[in-house]
Structure 1
Amino acid sequence: MTKFLKTLSATLAAGVMLASTAQADTRVTYKSAKSGSSYYQMGVELAEAMKAGTDGDIIVTIEESQGSTQNVMEVRARGGDYVFTTPPVLVSLAQKGKGPFEGKSAPQFDEIRALFPIPSLTMHFVMAGEGSAATLDDLAGQTLLLGKGSFGATEGEKYLNLFGLADKVEIADAELSNAVAALKNGQIGAFVTAGSFPAPNVVEAAASTPVRLVSLTPEQVAETKRTKLVIPAGTYAGQTEDVTTTSLPVAAFTTTKMDADTAYALTRTYWEQKAAMGDTSAWWNGVTAELMANITTPLHPGALRYYEEAGFALSEAHKQ
């Protein structure tokens, strides 16, 4: 073989090796929430789990987000590597051109497909004091910290109006970040927060002072038109019984632009790594197969293949 042919052969072989390396991993962008939030931290944990569970074949890059609506809107300009989190109800509104998507309809919204549920936004009404679970009526006469601009603040205000408590509580003019200190030193009697459970600020509050969580009746849950969720006894220090509250389900989505093998691998690895993620952060333990019922849009065909293989109970809506 001439020197030229040897050089050409070596060059081609190196090119093949480089191509194989380039194709060995799959790059995915995961857009969830603001940095510093629990959902952003979940994204970091999920990225680590994907890398570990696929031996580096799937690399997830986390992008900061300004909110769930933005996440949905971005499918108009994103490709097949885009994964985002949002409440399933927002996907439904986008596809119908309603709510925050009124006048902003796009054909790409119809291409959105679900992958898997993640921890739900869970409402917590936290009161100072010892004893069993509190009721909404126990909030009467309390100075209550709602916070500002968050889902928990908006939802909490809705519940005060819905159950006739708006004129029976004093709303504290303070940020939610001050809630634990304010509760501990008696400046407030209660605060409202929403996040995956166990919520870090509730853990902190329960560890530093006796607290009681408000438990809703089945009738009250129905009036909120939210999804029922039970926080198991022992989730927080001093919590001796289950607490019934409401939640806003959240899930991870992509679009039909993603190839089936990638969607399958993402979904399978998520469920296979969920227990390990739960060892790191307890909020993953709140994700069960039952949360699949909260996903009301079709599953990505690759994800559907995994769920059928694994024997998950699915609805007809999942298979469309």
Structure 2
Amino acid sequence: MSNNLLKLGFTLALAFGVTQAQAETRITYKSAKSASSYYQMGVQIAEAIKAGSDGEMIVTVEESQGSVQNVMEAKARGGDYVFTTPPVLVSLAQGGKAMFEGKGDPKFDEIRALFPIPSLTMHFVMSKKSGVTDFAGMEGKTILLGKGSFGATEGEKYLKQFGLEGKIDLAEVELSNAVAALKNGQIDGFVTAGSWPAPNVIEAAASSDVHVLSLNDDQIAQTKRAKLVIPAGTYAGQEEDIATTSLPVAAFTTTAMDDDTAYTLTKTFWEQKAGMGEDAPWWNGVDQALMANITGKLHPGAVRYYKEAGIELTDAQQ
């Protein structure tokens, strides 16, 4: 082969490689700790986006220490940054309140939502042996709250609101050992927050008889959280719907992301959601109704998709 032909072949190969690189959009998706269900969701989203875009959009999942860190990093990240957080934290960041006091930044005003993901859902899981079927029945029982998590903080708040502060024994057991502790009678119940169906609640219901407590409307109003109903049959032995509370969570980016990328991400997520639900049931709890929980602005690219899909948006979201 002549040198000219070799050069031509090299040039064509290089040009093809450049074209491929240009056609491929890379996204960083920052979710949660690698051991959490939300990290698993990130991996599922990454796989779904790749499949749904025929490999034109590649999502790399990045571990995070939590939602506050995710929001803070929006100040310095570029247009390829997607992160998950409860919408309320975005509002707090934009207002420089609570954990963001003294840490405000104009970049926070550029945060925009894309789509909802499974909510952080409260579960109060009691052994059937304990005989507890409502919150009043928890008095004198041994309960595992865990430490440092949203579920632990929220659970402690609810127990106080419902008049149980100082009236229950708090178990000094790690939440990761909750199912075993419940099974061997070391505790009467545990509190956990996560997507539903929650893996540890599935395990508890499958390995021993449990009762997941429902909150009444007055209790839900006291918590000032969104009401969520877990349908009957979600967990083994669960014959009735469970009324509980949730903290909505969504995927966000910033205005640095171009409209076409935000549009494709949002469109592909919704188109792939049913398939994700076949592999992981927690996606089946995500529907258009969760859009109402996104209180801030949506990315213009996402807005384009929702209008095309006929999904109604509020004035505040546009």
Distance between the aligned counterparts of 1:60 and 1:130, measured in 2? Answer: 46
**1:170 to partner: Cα distance:** 0.7
Query: 1-side partners of 2:171 and 2:130: how far apart?
Result: 24
Distance 1:216 1:133, change over 3 A: farther
Matches within 5 A, 1:117-132: 117-129=116-128
Query: Residues 274, 131 of structure 1: CA spacing in aligned structure 2 closer, same or farther, 3 A cutoff?
Result: farther
- Asked whether 1:267 is paired with 2:266, we answer yes
Residue 15 of structure 1 and its aligned partner are, at CA, apart by 3.7
Give, in angstroms, the shift of residue 79 of structure 1. 0.4
Q: 1:30 is matched with which residue?
A: 29
Closer/same/farther in 2, CA of residues 296 and 132 from structure 1, 3 Å limit? farther
Shift of 1:131: 11
Give me the whole-angstrom Cα distance separating, in 1, the residues matched to 2:305 and 2:131. Answer: 42
In the alignment, the residues of structure 1 paired with residue 11 and residue 179 of structure 2 have an alpha-carbon distance, to the nearest angstrom, of 64
Identity in percent: 68
Q: What is the CA distance between 1:16 and its match in structure 2?
A: 2.8
Gaps of 5+ in 2: none
Tell me, in whole angstroms, the C-alpha distance in 1 between the residues paired with 2:302 and 2:10.
Answer: 39
Alpha-carbon shift at residue 167 of structure 1 (Å)? 2.2
Counterpart AA for 2:82: V
Q: For 2:170 and 2:128, how far apart are their aligned partners in 1? A: 19
Report deviation, 1:216.
0.5
Moved more, 211-220 or 12-21: 12-21
Tell me if the contact between 1:133 and 1:213 (Cα under 8 Å) persists in the aligned partners.
no
Native 8 Å contact 1:133 1:241 kept in 2: no
Equivalent residues in 2 for 1:51-70 (5 A)? 51-70=50-69
Gaps of 5+ in 1: none
Within a 5 Å distance, the mapping from 1:1-320 to structure 2 comes to 12-129=11-128, 134-319=133-318
Give deviations 1:181-210, integer Å, cap 9, x for gaps.
111111111100000000000000000111
Distance 1:174 1:193, change over 3 A: same
Over 3 Å counting, the alpha-carbon distance change for 1:292 and 1:4 in structure 2 is same
1 CA distance for matches of 2:180 and 2:5? 73
Q: Retained in 1: the 8 A contact 2:132–2:138?
A: no
C-alpha spacing 1:228/1:12, structure 2 compared with 1 (3 Å): same
Structure 1 position 11, deviation (Å): 5.2
Q: CA RMSD in A?
A: 1.7
Q: 1:185 to 1:133 in 2, by over 3 A?
A: closer
Runs of 4+, deviation exceeding 4 Å: 3-12, 130-133
3-state SS, counterpart of residue 23 of structure 2: coil
Q: Tell me the secondary structure at the aligned position of residue 168 of structure 1.
A: coil
> Take 2:132 and 2:299, find their aligned partners in 1: how far apart are those partners?
41
Q: Is contact 2:130-2:188 (8 Å) kept?
A: no
Q: 1: distance between equivalents of 2:280 and 2:286?
A: 12
Compute the TM-score of the two structures, normalised by the length of structure 2. Answer: 0.96
TM-score, normalising length from structure 1?
0.96
What's the CA shift for 1:130?
A: 7.0
Contact 2:126–2:132, Cα closer than 8 Å, also in 1: no
